[in-house]
A and B are shown apart, each in its own frame.
Chain A
Amino acid sequence: MKVNNIFFVLAALLAFALGASAQEMTKDQWQQEINQLTQSRTELSAKVTALGADVTTMQGQSTQIDADYQKCMDGLYALVGSDAAKAAAYSSDIEAAENKANELGRLSDADLVASSGEVDALAANVKGLWDNKLSLIPVFWDRLTALNEKVKSLQTTLANQMKVYTVGTWARDRDCLWNISKKKDIYNNAWLWPKIWQGNRDEIKDPDVIKKGQKLKIPKGNEMNAEEKAAAKKYYARKAAK
């Protein structure tokens, strides 16, 4: 019995020792792993150093390019006798004109006719922008070219909507807005005279005064829009107050 107990204890001890030795790392394995890791550390350290050097070089390049770019832009503005601040202001002016063109482009044809004065003003504004030498810089040139197209499109729409009537003399033609409006080939309706007035706001300040030779745009349509009605109402109220 006693011998059997000792036998079992020793067998268990042997089994444990076998299991432990199967899981544990041997010194050779340890050494092998140490060698591999040491090599990896050396390689990775070298890589970190090389990458750091690359990044530093590129940061230097980036700074140099910034300086070159600044110099180039200053040179570009100098070519047209300008500078960065004036160019920024010019860009804002173009943006304002672009916004105006977009705003007018969203109007209905009838409303556009009523705003023909604004189209003319925009065209004049764009012409003024072209006269600035900054327009020679491609970024501005391209924007102005696009703006020109929009203005042309607005002018074409207006032209399609309007005839032109050249004012004659009172003595010979009895031309006033009322009489012009009454003509058969105009509106055949004297009461539509505010349409002519509103379609020529840039030309006619006082609807009672038109001059010989004036070329009046005749907006299309046989009804007044809200703006034309409002202008007529204001006119009649002013007359009544006199």
Chain B
Amino acid sequence: MHKVNRTVTALALAILFTGSVVLVGCSSSPNEAQMKQLNDLKEEVASLQKEVAAKEQQKGAMEKEVAEKSAKLKKCNDDQAIVKQRLAK
């Protein structure tokens, strides 16, 4: 009986040892350089997202400016037509 116990214990120890070695030593995690590459890429993407937002805002402001100026120009052309009409009377 004592002999069986010793065998079971030895077997359990062997399984635990092998499992630990396999999990700790043979896992396929990225190394430090690869993690740095990933983080750099994340920062670059975040920076680009900010740049896109800023450019979209700038574009919106320009669209508004161009629309306002176009309206002013149209009014000027309309005014010219009205003045010509009034002068002809």
Contact = CB atoms under 8 A, between A and B. Distances in A.
To the question of whether A and B form a pair in one complex, the answer is: yes
A196 B41 CA distance: 92
Interface string B27-65: 111100011011001101100110110011011001101
Contacts of A13: 16, 20, 24
Interface in B43-89: 44-45, 48-49, 51-52, 55-56, 58-59, 62-63, 65-66, 69-70, 72-73, 76-80, 82-84, 86-87
Contacts of A34: 37-38, 41
A47 B13 CA distance: 59
Given A33-B38, A79-B80, A65 B9 contact: no
Contact of A79 (B38, B52, B87): B87
A139 B29 CA distance: 75
Contacts of A72: 73, 76-77, 80
Contact of A17 (B24, B55, B72, B77): B24
B58 A55 contact: yes
A72 B51 CA distance: 38
A11 B59 contact: no
A3 B13 contact: yes
A164 interface: no
A79 B84 contact: yes
Contacts of A66: 69
A128 interface: no
Given A69-B72, A76-B83, A21 B45 contact: no
Nearest to A15: B20
Nearest to A58: B62
Contacts, number: 135
A54 B51 CA distance: 14
Contacts of A55: 55, 58-59, 62
Interface residues of B, number: 47
A65 B73 contact: yes
A27 interface: yes
Given A7-B16, A47-B52, A21 B23 contact: yes
Interface residues of A, number: 50
Contacts of B27: 17, 20-21, 24, 26
Q: Give chain A's interface secondary structure class.
A: helix
Contact of A51 (B13, B59, B78): B59
Contacts of A52: 55
B45 A17 contact: no
Contacts of A25: 29-30
A169 B20 CA distance: 134
A110 to B, nearest CB: 41
A30 B62 CA distance: 41
Nearest to A11: B16
Interface of B: 9, 12-13, 16-17, 19-20, 23-24, 27-30, 34-35, 37-38, 41-42, 44-45, 48-49, 51-52, 55-56, 58-59, 62-63, 65-66, 69-70, 72-73, 76-80, 82-84, 86-87
Closest CB pairs A-B (n = 6): A17-B23, A51-B55, A44-B48, A10-B16, A72-B76, A58-B62
